[in-house]
Amino acid sequence: MRKLLVLFSVLFLLVPTAAVATPDGQRGRGADRLDLYEVTGDAGTEAELREDGFEVVAAEPAQGDQVTLEMVLTDDQAEALREEGEVDVELKRNEEGLSTAQAATLEAQSGFEVWRTYSEPGGIKDEMELLARQYDRLTELITIGESLNGQPIYAMRVTADADRVKDGKRPAVLYVSTQHAREWISTEVNRRLLRHFLENYGSDRQITDLVADNELWFILVVNPDGYDHTFTEGNRLWRKNLRDNNGDGEVTVGDGVDEPSDQVRGRLAGQHRCFAALLAALQLLPQGNQIDDQAAERGRRRLPRSDLHPGRRTGLRRPPERRHGLGTGPRRRDQPR
C-alpha cells in the first residue's frame, strides 16, 4: 500500500463564550451547570487536581510559589474545593461582572447568526450533504463511523474529478475539528475553509491547482453528540462526548470521555487524547490514505505546521503552471463510481 505524508490541521480553542441556557444563565446552585473558575494554590496544586480528575484549562504563575489555574467546574465542585481550605476558588468574571456561563446566556438570548448544531435542520450535517450534491464532481462524502447516539460522522474528500479518481491516488491533507465539544470556532473555521476551496475552484489559480493535484479531507465535527450538547441549557462548557459512564441513564459532569475508542464505536484506541483522536480519524479514512507508522509517531510528538504553501512541510504537490476545468461536486460512499 502506498504510504502518503498526511498533514493534519487541528483547530482547537479552549473556552469560547456562547451558549443556549436558561434566562439567568443558571441551572440552580449545586446542579451540574459548568462555569469557569480561578483556583489559586501552591506549585503542586495543578498536578494534584488533574490527578483527581478535575479539568484545568490554563495555568499562570501567581505571587511567590503560588499558581492560578483556570478550571471548568460545577457549583458543587467549586464549593467542595473551598471547603477543603487548601486553595482559593473564585468565579471568573468579565469586565461587565458576568461569568462565562452568564455571558454565554446573554449571547444565546440574542439569537445566533453563525453558530449551528450538527443535527438541526440546516445544521452542519445537512450542509455537508448539500455540498456533496452541489459539488458532486469535486467531492466525496463518506461516513467514517457513528457517534454513541447513532449520528453519522462525516468526512468529505475534495479533489478534482472525485467521482472518477480513486481514493489515495494523490497526496492528502486532513482538516479535522471539534473533538472537544465546546470548541465551536473550530467547526466554523473548518467549515469556511471547506467552502473556500469548493467555491473558488476554477476561478482562483492556486486553489484550482491544489485541488487538482491533491486530496483535501475535511471532518468538521468529530464529536457530534457532545457538540450538540453544548447548545443545550447549562452545558456550554461541556468538553467530552456523551458516554454514560456509570450507566444511570443521565449524562452529568462525571460522564463522557474524549478518547477515540469511545468517540467512534469499535475503532482505534489511542494514546494521547488529542492526537489519538486525530490518528483514529486517519485510520478510518479509505485505505489509500492511512498514515504510516513513522508519520504517526511524529504526530504523537508534535503537530506539523500548515500554511498551505506548496512544498513547505505540507506533503502537497507543488501546483504546476496550468489551470484546470471546474468540477461540480461530491459522491457518497454507497454510490457507484
DSSP per position, 66-113:
-EEEEEEEEHHHHHHHHHHTSSEEEE-B-TTS-BHHHHHHHHHHT--S
Q: What parts of the chain have a pLDDT lower than 70?
A: 1-31, 258-337
Whether the model pTM is above 0.85: no
Helix axis angle for 184-200 and 124-134, nearest 10°, is: 10
CA–CA distance, 178 with 185 (Å, rounded to integer): 9
- Please report, for the chain, how many H helices and E strands are present, in that order: 10, 10
pLDDT at 122: 96
Q: Map out the domains of the chain with their CATH numbers.
A: 7-14+114-332 (3.40.630.10), 34-109 (3.30.70)
Fill in the DSSP letter of residue 274: H
pLDDT at 206: 96
DSSP per position, 160-190:
TTTTTSPTTSS-EEEEEE-SSTT-HHHHHHH
* Closest C-alpha among 197, 226, 200, 231 to residue 214: 197
- Tell me if 221 sits within 8 A of 202, measured CB to CB: no
CA within 13 Å, CB half, 99: 23
pLDDT at 149: 92
Q: Which grid cell is 134? A: 452541489
- Tell me if 1 sits within 8 A of 287, measured CB to CB: yes
Whole-number average pLDDT of the chain: 75
pLDDT at 33: 84
- Tell me if 18 sits within 8 A of 230, measured CB to CB: no
pLDDT at 90: 95
The H or E element spanning position 263 is helix 260-263
CA–CA distance, 108 with 116 (Å, rounded to integer): 12
pLDDT at 294: 40
The type of residue at 287 is Q
Segment 55-112, tens digit of pLDDT:
899 999 988 889 999 999 989 999 999 999 899 999 999 999 999 988 888 888 877 8
pLDDT at 51: 87
Question: 10 Å Cβ neighbour count for 34?
Answer: 25
Fill in the DSSP letter of residue 157: E
CA–CA distance, 328 with 337 (Å, rounded to integer): 15
pLDDT at 181: 94
Helix (H, G, I), strand (E, B) or coil at 56: strand
